[in-house]
Chains A and B, each alone.
Chain A
Amino acid sequence: ETGVTQTPRHLVMGMTNKKSLKCEQHLGHNAMYWYKQSAKKPLELMFVYNFKEQTENNSVPSRFSPECPNSSHLFLHLHTLQPEDSALYLCASSLREFDNEQFFGPGTRLTVL
């Protein structure tokens, strides 16, 4: 296990549900990231936060809403998702924004019915 934790590890939700993913890092890092990984596809960067401020939104649909209350915590709020949003959602952190070494959490496996 790394110093980045994610909860829940698995989530099944309907298209009308609202749920949230949580990420916490215990590494003293200042930058945090959300990535999406669909089956057999590359990791896609979704959002970047640096010192709690969002610095990157990679054209993500508004049904995904990130929140970063402090440098250690990152949330991804989900509402009215589509089945094609089913994927592994990975949180990562690094000491500085876009540092070479990003530490990944274990991910949340999301299934949208």
Chain B
Amino acid sequence: QKEVEQNSGPLSVPEGAIASLNCTYSDRGSQSFFWYRQYSGKSPELIMFIYSNGDKEDGRFTAQLNKASQYVSLLIRDSQPSDSATYPCAVTATTDSWGKLQFGAGTQVVVTP
């Protein structure tokens, strides 16, 4: 069974601090990795994707991929109350570049003022 695992949280982060979220996956052939943000009662929105080992930065967000250890992380710098949401990660479920997305259940982040 191919799985994507995340700590459900909640992860409590003081405003202005760094939130660190982790996601592990079991399919060693996974090629593409995605972080979504989902506010309560809303639909998911894509915030980052990463294909290669290393770091990828976009504004206050940094995705980190380590294929050897089969994990992908998301760092949120200078956390704001508006970052309070659930963050599901997703990986492609095949070894192809394009494939079905397999989602984790998401980590709930709560940013406290």
Contacts and interface: CB of A to CB of B under 8 A. Distances in A.
A88 to B, nearest CB: 8
Contact of A105 (B4, B43, B98, B106): B43
Given A43-B88, A45-B100, A107 B43 contact: yes
Interface size class, chain B: 20 to 34
A48 to B, nearest CB: 8
A98 B98 contact: yes
Interface residues of A, number: 21
A56 interface: yes
Contacts, number: 48
18 contacts: A2-B45, A42-B105, A42-B106, A43-B44, A43-B90, A43-B101, A44-B103, A45-B100, A96-B98, A98-B99, A101-B49, A102-B46, A102-B101, A104-B44, A104-B45, A105-B43, A106-B42, A106-B43
Closest 5 pairs (CB-CB, A-B): A104-B43, A42-B103, A43-B103, A98-B98, A42-B105
Given A56-B100, A98-B92, 17 more contacts: A2-B43, A40-B105, A42-B102, A42-B103, A42-B104, A44-B103, A45-B100, A45-B101, A96-B98, A98-B98, A99-B98, A100-B49, A102-B46, A104-B44, A105-B43, A106-B43, A107-B43
